[in-house]
Structure formats: structure tokens, C-alpha cells
Amino acid sequence: MKHALKITLLASLFVGCAGAANADDQTTLNDAARQTAGGLLKTLGGELKAALASGGAVEAISVCKEKAPRIAAEAARKTGFAIKRVSPKNRNPKGVPDAWESAALASLEARLAAGEKPETLDMSAVVDTPEGKVFRYAKALPTQPLCLSCHGTPDQLSPEVKAKLSTEYPDDKAVGYSVGMIRGVLSIKKAM
């Protein structure tokens, strides 16, 4: 009897600790994901600006095509996070959002409509999956003036950009955006 009580106590202690550890993990992971996303966007934004200034939009397409995944892969290697960019109107055929990302985007859109600033919109969650708990994070990628030469309305895209995009991305859906709209999300995940 005494023994059984001890086991129950130990078990509840253990459960209690596990709960606390998970809460901590989410906060820690959220901070790390935010930092990773911030650093990544700064690097990518800098590369994009430099490429646009030196070679124009046609040249800068390669920054988005080759450098963006490379910068993300480098950050992934350093942090252990899986990192990708997704959008319901994707340009890269692999950029299709999964169920969690679609739901996250809908809630970020709702917060944008309610008056939050697009630059600070992000969210995270711990999701139960058959493989265990997974930390998920999504940051809104707002359309800025700098994005319009490749994601704006058709009249904002030069004939050269249109030609290059239609060769490299025949199923491109990522046009028609205006400043302030959410172009997509930076999605980060990690098994816990």
C-alpha cells in the first residue's frame, strides 16, 4: 500500500515535470524560431535589395530561386529547425501550405484584418502527431514595395520578368499582390 502510494506520487511528480518542461520548451522554441526567422529575413532582404539595385528584377529572380533556399538550409543546419516558405498562391511548386500552415495563415490574416501590423504577425503551437509532439511556428511575410516587381499586379511586372517567370515557373500563382498583403508564411518546425 505504502509502495503503491509512492509510485503514484512519483508518477504524478513526473507528469507534472513533463508538463512544465513542455511549456518551457514551447517558449524557448518560440523565441529561437522568432530569432531564426528574423535573421533569415534580414539576410534575404539584404541580398534581394542588393541584387535588385545591381542587376534589376530579372537578375534578382535567382536570389529568390537559389539563395533563399540556401540561406534557409544554412539556418536549418545551425538550428535543427525545418524551414520553408509557403503560400496558397505559390510560385515554387513545392511551396504549398499543409493543414497547419493554412490554418495559421487564416488566423494571421484575421489578426491583420483586426488591425495588427503585418511585420509583427507570427504564431506558434505544439501539435500532436502520430510521430509525437511537433513544435510549429509561422511568421507572416508581408508584401513590401520591394516585392512588387515580381509579385505585384501584371502591370507592375516588366515584360522581361514576366518572360523569365513563365519559363521558370509555368504554374506561377504568386502575382497580384499589393503592399500590406500577406504574401506567404515562413514556416518552422521541429520534433519535440
Comparing C-alpha atoms, which of 99, 100, 85, 92 is closest to residue 182?
A: 85
User: Least distance in Å: CB of 114 to ligand HEC?
Assistant: 21
User: Least distance in Å: CB of 28 to ligand HEC?
Assistant: 26
Q: Which span sits near ligand HEC by CB under 6 A: 11-19, 72-80, 86-94, 130-138?
A: 86-94
Q: Which span sits near ligand HEC by CB under 6 A: 3-11, 14-22, 102-110, 138-146?
A: 138-146
Report yes or no: 156 and 149 within 8 Å, Cβ to Cβ: yes
Half-sphere exposure of 79 (CA within 13 A, CB side): 25
Q: Which span sits near ligand HEC by CB under 6 A: 6-14, 74-82, 89-97, 122-130?
A: 89-97
**Residue 91 touching ligand HEC (CB under 6 A):** yes
Cα distance between residue 100 and residue 190, in whole Å: 14
List binders of ligand HEC among 30-49 (CB under 6 A).
Answer: 48
Distance spanning both ends of the chain, measured CA to CA: 36
